[in-house]
A and B are shown apart, each in its own frame.
Chain A
Amino acid sequence: MKKILTFNAITQKDEEAVVTIDVNGEYLLKFEDGSFFKLPGDLTKKQIQDALEANKKNNEGQISQAKIEKANEEKLKNI
């Protein structure tokens, strides 16, 4: 089983993803929580590295609406 350490946008952490080739010949990167993303099957090693870096750069720090609403609820408890 092939695994890679990469950024999970849902959990906002670097995690191991199991990498397989899907039925369409594309890279399927699946995390333990079930979330996943794909990369085109024709990428070179360098392009894959770039895509994984872009994945982290463009998703790190993403704030969910649920997190904001939870924080707002906590603030309202101070009133």
Chain B
Amino acid sequence: MAATFQFGRDSGDAAGSPAKGTVRTATVTDVNWKAVTTEGTLYSASPITDGANSVENWLYGHFSGTFNQISAGLFAHTNEGADFGAGITLKGPTSMTVDGDNETYTTPSATTNANLSVNMTSEIAITSGSAVWFGATGPEAASKAASMTTNPCYTNWLVTQLQTSGASAGDTSTVTLTLRYNEN
């Protein structure tokens, strides 16, 4: 038996304490940075105007199934040769070193999120990725730790934002965001 993993995403207005999105989508296969937060809106219907940013994409990881422990999480943009192209910068979450490092969900906005200080524009070796921690209840919940035996469990927020300045029109290359973890 093994753990079952899925990426999920919150969107919509911030609500509750700790804050989370009013919409939680449990199974996400594509990030698709865009100009609005509405889940289900195609990125092609909500393109980012050059000079603007995407709204933040509040991704997280979810573990269920059968496992004893999830640990050693790392998150990065990993695929070689598929950069976004000129005029685009991808910013992502900082490494978790204490529970308080987790981002606090805010209503997705195109304003630059200064907390996202990791530059993920070029492909990064996953061993050099941002450290990810795990916890019960949801990505927004406190008490994240480097390893977790609670089942189900969630990562901290894996929030990203695209910034543009002088970008060409049209789709970017497809890039891969990787979450690596150990399970036993």
Q: Taking beta carbons and an 8 Å cutoff, which residues of A are in contact with B?
A: 9-10, 22-24, 26, 28, 30, 34-40, 43, 47, 51, 54-55, 57-59, 61-69
Contacts and interface: CB of A to CB of B under 8 A. Distances in A.
Chain B: interface size category? 20 to 34
B57 interface: no
B78 A65 contact: yes
Interface of B: 51-53, 78-80, 86-87, 89, 91, 94-95, 110-114, 117-119, 121-125, 127-128, 163, 165-166
A24 B52 contact: yes
B114 A40 contact: yes
When A and B form their complex, which 5 residue pairs have the shortest distance between CB atoms, in order from nearest? Answer: A9-B119, A63-B128, A54-B117, A65-B123, A38-B112
A36 B165 contact: yes
7 contacts: A9-B119, A10-B122, A24-B52, A30-B165, A35-B119, A35-B121, A38-B89
Contacts of B124: 62-65
Contacts of A61: 128
Contacts of A65: 78-80, 123-125
